[in-house]
Structure 1
Amino acid sequence: MNVALFPDVVVNDETIPSAAIAAEAQNHTGPREKPGIAWRKAAQALAIRALLLQEARRRGLVPDPVELAPDRFETEEEALIRALLDEALSIAPVTEEAVRAEWEKDPERYRSAPLWDVSHILCACDPRDDEERASAERRATALLAKLDGEAKGFASAARESDCGSKNAGGHLGQLGPDDTVPEFEAALRQLDESSISPAPVLSRHGWHIIRLNAIAPGQVLPYDTVRPKIAQALEKTAWARASREFVETLAAGAAITGASLAPI
């Protein structure tokens, strides 16, 4: 990205150089053909950060970094922003009535995790190696063609798998969310019970032919079980709304050029 094409951002006479925005843009997403979107998101994020830090210093707040994880502490600027929001935001406690009303909108939303009974055939390769990946894909495609969507020959075909599960006909047992790599799970979620993936699925381990033998849908959870989760979500939503309104108030009294705080 040519930073010369994008302006510096100025917040109340404090300049945020385009080089800083370019560095921040790496943390934001946008269509490859529209790099300006990531830039605008980065400019907005840094403008908001500048507004908050200016207000924290105006109030005379002193940073007191806390430990976020073993041997990892907040920066002084992060601590200042946290202190400011703690002082400036007043969030009403979530009431029992609000939690129950949210639950009653659709209790079906709150379920235990599903379980999938899964078998697979693995044609292993390093996906980063173009030649190896293509060779393994051809092998997986040929195996899938032999199956022709039928499950009867799956256990026999699984003897050619590069996974230890080949000794059990490719059977992996019961899997739940996050029990396998994301790319495998994403494909698994698209399958109907007793079906085979229509095409080989690429993961970091190679190409998979996946069979979903059976699925046990998650059960609807009782209110008392999901109440803490709902309350936490409502508190988070209220905090986000209050934070957004606080920033809007600061922005209304500020002089900002080179960035827009409107939703992108």
Structure 2
Amino acid sequence: MFSYKSRILAVSIGSMLTLASCNAQDGDKSAVAPAVSATAAIATVNGSPISQARFNFLLQQSQQQGQPDSPEVRKNIREKLIIEEVVAQEALKKGMDKLADVNTQIDLARQTILIRTYLQDFIKNNPLGDDVLKAEYEKIKSQMGDKEYHARHILVEKESEAKDIIAKLKKGEKFEKLAEKSKDPGSKAKGGDLGWAAPANFVPEFSAAMTKLQKGQYTTEPVKSQFGYHIIKLEDSRTMQAPPFDEVKQNLRQRAQQQQIDKMISDLRAKAKIEETAEAAADKK
């Protein structure tokens, strides 16, 4: 149950996909130009080289995170790599690279890196123009409508409970006090207050009942939804102003990229030959 602006800004891209998007757009801006070959070593530990490529990667990553290049940063990266190599060599001496759990984690990390790289490449090769983003912006605006509402609600499990609460309201009891009995943990402590939101942010049954109310009115019959039974009170309504396109452009881009990625993954899965074990199939039931 969000405000108009937060609805437009909402993005469902997970951390991996967000990283893919950011790297695809910003990766070239802070690329490190190595002074020496990437195959050269910055140091050796017990005869084992630490490659320049590792150093370059961490330096570039540091710059992408906003850390400017400096002798101190380079010194810290070198020391980090040396310490990690020292400890890793000890782990190898103890045979920890042979542990099944360790190899499983290595496999998962490798797969994660492959997926992230593939998504970066996909985003880079499927750019989104402003015309696409503006169309999405207008679509969301039309879905949200031109009014938003400030409502309170009390959510209960049974219709009889809802009717009892309505009866108490009719006798003059305070809505905010009765909201303490609500099943909605996010609003019960605030007197059932849901803040300002567009009807599209609520389930249809809730929206239909809320938009029929006048300021200060509450529903005199329980409103049934998938969550239970609601008693809704309308505090106020107002004309809604959409945030400017430029203000939400980047978030719209991420939203559209997520939709592209979702479709791509869905298509790949549909084409793949997938054979699940009987146990896995049973888990879906």
Would you call these one fold, judging by a TM-score over 0.5?
A: no
Q: TM class, shorter-chain normalised? A: 0.3 to 0.5
**Higher helix residue share:** 2
TM-score of the aligned structures, taking structure 2 as reference length: 0.37
